[in-house]
Structure 1
Amino acid sequence: MSTLELGRLGEDLAADHLARAGWQVIDRNVRVGRGELDIIALEGTTLVFAEVKTRRTLLTGVPQAAVTPEKVRRLRRLAGEYLLHSSPPHRDLRIDVLAVFAAQDVCSLEHLRAVA
């Protein structure tokens, strides 16, 4: 499986997880300026920008460790740009991280809420 295919698998698993939890997935892989927002979803009245990180090995650390303070600042900027052009009805905003570990035949997902 290529890195691109692994990333798509992780995003599909994350989107399915959110939908099963009753969230409304509004959009995926949205290009904004010089970046991309992985998943945009509504949890009730909260608009959530979900960053998905997928790894097949833990040699470089857990997937969520890739979401550094610099990455969080970038996600905030991208979310702001998105809201300038498209703003689904919402009351609150939040950035979550969905960490997917996909090793051979085993997949696990950890959902970290409100990282920013």
Structure 2
Amino acid sequence: MGKHNEFGKQGEQIAVDFLRKAGYKICLRNYRYLKAEIDIIAKMGETLAIVEVKTRTSDFLEDMESVINPKKIKLLTLAADQYVQEHDLDIDVRFDVIIVIKRREGFEVEHLENAFYHF
């Protein structure tokens, strides 16, 4: 596995740990449907959070709109709908983004709830 992939997996694990600490139940990681992959599916109360994780170094921060474009949003929405149907869920669904930034002193985590409303 390349360093880029390892770095991304490390970021996903940090995001999972962050969510668990915040009280979320992790339902599934790396759910795939068609050409989409949902990094984390987590549940808090009666809300299902579809979480996209972006791991970056402090010197590489780009506009999230360029990373999570309308095509990506459409694919994630389709995958989330498929997951809900597969599991026959009657639940509110929310799309979040967790940004994990590596700094010299460690990792910084930013959780954007309902992130797609910002795009």
Q: Give the shorter-chain TM-score range.
A: 0.7 to 0.9
4+ residue runs of structure 1 moved beyond 4 angstroms?
none
**SS of equivalent residue, structure 2 residue 115:** coil
Question: Among the aligned pairs, what percent are the same residue?
Answer: 33
- Taking only aligned residues, the RMSD between alpha carbons, in angstroms, comes to 2.0
CA contact (8 A) 1:37 1:51 kept: yes
Q: Is the 8 A contact 1:46 1:90 kept in 2?
A: no
Quote the Cα distance in structure 2 between the aligned partners of 1:26 and 1:36: 14
Aligned residue runs from structure 1 range 20-99, under 5 A: 20-59=21-60, 61=62, 64-65=64-65, 66-87=67-88, 89-99=89-99
Note the C-alpha offset of 1:61.
1.4
Q: Which runs of 5+ in 2 are unaligned?
A: none
Contact preservation (8 Å) 2:32, 2:79 = no
Q: Which runs of 5+ in 1 are unaligned?
A: none
Aligned residues: 114
Q: Distance in 2 between matches of 1:59 and 1:33?
A: 29
Change (3 A) 1:70 1:58: farther
Shift, 1:60, TM fit: 5.2
1:25 alignment partner, SS class: strand
User: What is the CA-CA distance between 1:86 and the residue it aligns to?
Assistant: 2.2
Does the CA-based 8 Å contact 1:47-1:90 persist in structure 2? no
Q: Give the TM-score taking structure 1 as reference length.
A: 0.85
